[in-house]
Amino acid sequence: MASLPMARQREDTGLTKNDPTKSRARFRRETPDDRRRQLGEAALRCIVKHGNAGVSVRQIAAEAGVTQGLITHHFGELNELVIYAFDIMASEMLQGLMNVVDQADPTPQGRLNAFIEASFSSMLFDRDVLGVWVVFWGLILHSPKLSFSQQREFSGYVKAVEALLKDLADDEEIAVGDMRLAALSFSALLDGLWLAWCLNPTTFKPEEGVQLCHNWIKGLRLGAYA
């Protein structure tokens, strides 16, 4: 799972009374990718505000300050926009985590510690994030394309976890029989703790979640996955 990309409110291109030249220059910078991104971020904001009811062309167009026809122009149908919004959120969350890892102590232990601590920071421990995921989870059951995107996102997340664990195992000569299963287990622990906290923040403190993850790593060292 970086923080929900709380899409920045971007002004629609309009005439600037004092300097129409600047207005035209700004308009030229509005590429199709820029506009698609704005619509995807607007979709995320709508879901945060309205839940499932926010998954509508009317709501998203109003949030973005554009016509409904512009959504059709860029995405063809609502489902494609929803998938795009999901991809924005999922990729930014993982990228945010990895950015923290890349800035940490470059040792395998330092990088893994940074990943664990970031996983229990406000970057992820945000109930708005859960609200968006709940909507996406419900839609996945009825959208093969969205299901495919979720599988791809989860695979990327597990591979990132697996790489961190493998680096630690190689560095400390820890015997791990099946690194993929170890990564799946650790990912499940992280996801389960995240979900439990989002549903009820009094369940445990984030620092306790960090400690639970370090305890899991101790088990790895002792041969839990040998």
pLDDT in tens, 38-86: 999 999 999 999 999 999 999 999 999 999 999 999 999 999 999 999 9
**Torsion on CA atoms 122, 124, 128, 134, rounded to nearest 10:** -160
**Torsion on CA atoms 88, 93, 95, 101, rounded to nearest 10:** 180
pTM to 2 decimal places: 0.82
**Three-state helix/strand/coil letters over 129-169:** HHHHHHHHHHHHCCCHHHHHHHHHHHHHHHHHHHHHHHHHH
pLDDT of residue 18 exceeding 80, the answer is: no
Average pLDDT value over all residues in the chain: 87
Q: Which CATH architecture has domain 20-221?
A: Orthogonal Bundle (1.10)
Kindly state the average pLDDT of the residues 107-135.
93
pLDDT in tens, 182-191: 999 999 999 9
Amino acid type, 110: G
Q: Other C-beta atoms within 10 Å of 6: how many? A: 13
| pLDDT value at residue 29 | 62
Per domain, the residue ranges of the chain are: 20-221
